[in-house]
A and B are shown apart, each in its own frame.
Chain A
Amino acid sequence: MRNILADSSFCSRNSVVIKVFYVKKGQPIDMVFPLSKENIRGRFVNKVLELSGQDIFACYQCGKCSALCPSLERMDLLPNQLVRMVQFGREEVLGSKTIWICSSCFSCAVECPKGIDIASLAEALRLMQLRLNVDHLDLNKIPTEDLEELPPIAIVGGARKFTA
């Protein structure tokens, strides 16, 4: 799966086709997205740009981020696909596993030729969910024996990333 890098996309006058490789299923799926000003410079995209502070539109899909990502196998959208979907204003990225699997290791950020930090993008997308006051992780469900074993940096770090 690590060999599959960039998605290929095809634009027509009013729609864009993105090949999405779902890592688990292994089959490329064509997704047809309507192309409109509302999607590309809509509220969602603007919010992501503002929160992440990243120039998402600078991405030209070289795929280096996905080649380097240590968590790729567990993601449903590869990092470069996540960027692509955000460029097209696809709000369903908020439901992807990828944004919760990213452990902010900044491997992609170090190598991105356009200076984009995808960890910050994932953080922005997580926050858009968490700010609806929905926790991703219920701290009460962590078994007591785990809490006794886990170092405070793991608990505080996890709580900061996964709870509202």
Chain B
Amino acid sequence: MKFPYYPGCTLKAQAKNFEISALTTCAYLGIELEELDKWNCCGTVYSLATDDLMKQVAPIRVLIRAMEKGQNELVTLCAMCYNTLARANLLVRADEEKMEKLNSFMDDEPDYDGSVRVLHLLQVLKDIIGFEIIMQKVVRPLKGLRVSPYYGCLLIRPKGVAIDDPRDPRILEDLLSALGTDVIGTPERATCCGSYLTIDRKEVVADNAYRIIMASVERGAELLVTSCPLCFFNLDSRQKEAKKLHPEMKQVPIVYFTQLMALAFGLEDSLGFESHYVDPRPVLKEKGLLGGS
């Protein structure tokens, strides 16, 4: 099974571990993610202003690249890319005039026809592969590992592009259960980490990270699982600042869901744990889930 795949900028920089673990686990499950040729940045945040069509050029151009592949699906890994592309897609599908304007502005490109369906990898795993199959593919069940799913915002909000119920998402819980982990739910699993405020208001993000992480720690979680590279950065690296604000804070490793999949599938070469600020390896070794060094 082959899907056109849009990585976005951060998967080629700080989130290489997300990309490598995702591509390897997908290959293991028989999914080939074929990177688009000549892709551009999606803009990272969907423009909320009604008159700001210029900011829709970048995401629509990405959708044109996907359309050219002749398959009406595009898979993303980054939650921000997913949200920006999916919302831009909804906008032009619902507004013919905007679609026309954008197409005539990009007159060197083929006209976009609204046919591409933007998918997040989690949707592919749930709806196309199925968590039952994933459970069967597990070679090393992550027994006894207490993990807390963290959705953040952009996979489940706003409603129009939510990959699951925005009020009570289950998709990460179901995947993590299939991998054999003990899933620890918290009331902060969909509370914003502060997103782009991290650029100039570290203390705000560090405080949010503290609140989100402590909600998991208090319930006995040993790891937090995310699917967004910005949530990952804000929860992982900002623990440095959070620890300064709250010296009693216990530091907790943050991982991508694809890294836990790689671990459960025995694909240890693609884990990429060395780039984490809080190293997940000690707790995984302690649980006997990670061999070697």
Contacts and interface: CB of A to CB of B under 8 A. Distances in A.
Contacts of B229: 151, 153
B49 A127 contact: yes
Interface string A41-59: 0000000001111000000
A151 B235 CA distance: 13
B195 A152 contact: no
B230 interface: yes
B43 interface: yes
Interface stretch (A12-20, A28-36, A81-89, A105-113): A105-113
Nearest to A152: B9
Interface string A111-141: 0000001011001100100000000010000
B158 A110 contact: yes
B196 interface: yes
Interface stretch (B27-35, B61-69, B141-149, B198-206): B198-206
Nearest to A137: B200
Given A117-B158, A137-B200, A153 B230 contact: yes
Q: Specify the main secondary structure of chain B where it touches its partner.
A: loop
B45 A157 contact: yes
* Closest A-B pairs by Cβ, 4 of them: A158-B199, A105-B192, A157-B196, A106-B157
Contacts of B47: 123, 160
Interface of B: 8-10, 13-15, 41, 43-45, 47-52, 55, 78, 80, 153, 157-159, 166-167, 190-192, 194-200, 204, 208, 229-230, 233, 237
A4 to B, nearest CB: 20
Contacts of B190: 107
A70 interface: yes
Interface of A: 50-53, 70-71, 74, 101, 103-107, 109-110, 117, 119-120, 123-124, 127, 137, 142, 146, 149-162
A142 B195 contact: no
A156 B191 CA distance: 22
Given A137-B200, A153-B230, A106 B153 contact: yes
A161 B153 contact: no
A150 B198 contact: yes
B192 A157 contact: no
A70 B199 contact: no
Contact of A52 (B49, B55, B197): B49
A27 B198 CA distance: 30
Question: Which of B10, B15, B190, B237: most chain A Cβ within 10 A?
Answer: B10
Contacts of B237: 149
B190 to A, nearest CB: 8
Given A70-B191, A153-B9, A110 B48 contact: no
A157 B230 contact: yes
Contacts of A153: 8-10, 44, 78, 80, 196, 229-230
A157 B204 contact: no
A120 B44 contact: no
A161 B46 CA distance: 10
A151 B16 CA distance: 11
A105 B195 contact: yes
B11 to A, nearest CB: 10
16 contacts: A50-B50, A70-B191, A101-B204, A104-B45, A105-B153, A107-B153, A107-B191, A110-B158, A124-B48, A151-B15, A152-B10, A153-B9, A153-B229, A156-B44, A158-B198, A160-B55
User: Max chain A CB contacts within 10 Å: which of B9, B48, B229?
Assistant: B48
